[in-house]
Structure 1
């Protein structure tokens, strides 16, 4: 074998990120819908994540990623985000049967909607950052995150509490074992107590929303604040996490991921936009410390994010 084996030219080409969409659903109690992934799942094993999944050409062709987010939300949790229909919402039995058939690719989501004169509430989804998996990870995703407020008049399915799910996948496995609404502050408490595991994007966005959604009653002012974030530089952020050497953090057992806008990623001197992490099983983190020392409403340096396309 040549002594040059293993050089940079021999590095495998990074996988192309798969387009995907995720929706953060906020109910009237300021609770957010989380689904618990199966510990044996190929992706995000045992983690708590927002409902979402990959763009599916068969299911989603001719529609955008918000449509993907609504379909995946229905498949994974049973919650259907639609506009009111003169023909009414299908029964729970019809919803359950359709959900399983769509998940198994035996029925198209758009056909199910058309048959019941239902229109997906695309307009209710607000952009809430975009995250691209680092190139060293074998399974990569280009994930668009959306946030929406749950309006009982425009949804079907459960809207609060817990719901046990055991939905078979085509190979006989199970992707999601539980779905539940939980306040973002409580979810973070559970994470810090190591009762649940999260990935960096979910932690980042839960922390962001926990700082806004105070109390157990969703208010007009809180909704306006979230909309302001979505419509501003925050909602447009494209985040490509990258590891960086940090001897101090490493001495404490942490890895460090930097994000665009950090002083090491195009931001001003002293600007921190990074996370310290300790990873558990399945690639999810069981400890995350977010360092973000700028105002996300007024101080995002958008020039730093313009470099994302070059990464």
Structure 2
């Protein structure tokens, strides 16, 4: 997508998103790429969105959704690595450390809601936040030290919905409790796919771009150490550009 004009991006995504007069200001969102190492290969967890959704209907995506500022007030077993927090807050205007924490926790919450996977450590959790009661019931303290910032992308203008999405990653081993399904029906189908197969699936254009970035990152750093280079995709002067955070 790098270097494409807005018209070219609109054409590439015409079957993925609803075009129209959406919100002018993108909303913060987070998605989690859950990884599982299989020998020399890496698998990613993806789910298919319902065909009735206005945003990316019927596409395979990573669990994720809008960031809720209240997520920042949920207790955690461990916080973000300073290197990851610094990247999450880079070039983000009003976003500070509290917002970075909310973004990371929203990815963990969405992974529970959509996939039934609770990422963290076993231990008692006390919070009155309704969306986190699954963690309370299953005695899981969310943990952020396992979270890695992989990429950022802002939905181009002219969409019904626009998001400033942070693509985060964690390992399957970081799942403390795995339930048969999540409490919502956002995703119709959940599958673990090798990276090569995931790129061939019915996925959004930006997701394929992020998978390419992830494969490069894993090739250079299979352990996904904190503080890696973060590609940032956005529309600038009528072209979709790739910057580095």
Tell me the alpha carbon deviations over residues 65-93 of structure 1, each in whole angstroms, 9 at most, x when there is no partner.
Answer: 111000100111111111133x7xxxxxx
In the alignment, does 2:227 pair up with 1:231? Answer: yes
Q: In 2, Cα distance between the equivalents of 1:212 and 1:16?
A: 30
Specify the alignment match of 1:128 in structure 2: 150
Tell me the TM-score normalised to structure 1 length.
0.54
Instruction: Specify which structure has the higher proportion of strand.
Output: 2
Specify the alignment match of 1:72 in structure 2: 110
| Post-superposition offset of 1:222 | 5.0
Tell me the alpha carbon deviations over residues 129-171 of structure 1, each in whole angstroms, 9 at most, x when there is no partner.
Answer: 111111222210011111112216x42217xxxx8x6966xxx
RMSD: 3.2
Q: 1:151 to 1:61 in 2, by over 3 A?
A: closer
Could you say which structure has the greater relative contact order, defined with CA pairs below 8 angstroms and 6 or more residues apart? 2
| Length, aligned pairs only | 193
Q: In 2, Cα distance between the equivalents of 1:80 and 1:120?
A: 8
CA contact 1:39–1:46 (8 Å) conserved in 2: yes
Q: In 2, Cα distance between the equivalents of 1:36 and 1:13?
A: 23
Q: In 2, Cα distance between the equivalents of 1:124 and 1:22?
A: 14
| Post-superposition offset of 1:110 | 3.2
Unaligned residue ranges in structure 2 (runs of 5+) = 1-20, 74-100
Specify the alignment match of 2:240 in structure 1: 258
1:131-280 alignment to 2 at 5 Å? 131-151=153-173, 154-157=175-178, 174-188=185-199, 191=200, 196-211=201-216, 222-224=221-223, 226-227=224-225, 231-233=227-229, 235=230, 237-241=231-235, 258-261=240-243
Q: In 1, Cα distance between the equivalents of 2:153 and 2:130?
A: 27
Q: In 2, Cα distance between the equivalents of 1:187 and 1:128?
A: 17
* Pairing partner for 1:118 from 119, 133, 140: 140
Specify the alignment match of 2:120 in structure 1: 82
Q: In 1, Cα distance between the equivalents of 2:122 and 2:22?
A: 47
1:272-291 alignment to 2 at 5 Å? none
Q: In 1, Cα distance between the equivalents of 2:106 and 2:189?
A: 20
Specify the alignment match of 2:53 in structure 1: 41
- SS of 1:16's partner is coil
* Pairing partner for 1:55 from 67, 72, 87: 67
| Post-superposition offset of 1:242 | 5.7
Q: In 1, Cα distance between the equivalents of 2:113 and 2:136?
A: 17
Q: 1:206 to 1:117 in 2, by over 3 A?
A: same
| Post-superposition offset of 1:210 | 3.6
Specify the alignment match of 1:21 in structure 2: 30
CA contact 1:37–1:46 (8 Å) conserved in 2: yes
Specify the alignment match of 2:14 in structure 1: none
Unaligned residue ranges in structure 1 (runs of 5+) = 1-11, 88-106, 169-173, 215-220, 245-256, 262-301, 306-311
- SS of 1:44's partner is coil
Tell me the TM-score normalised to structure 2 length.
0.66
Q: 1:204 to 1:121 in 2, by over 3 A?
A: same
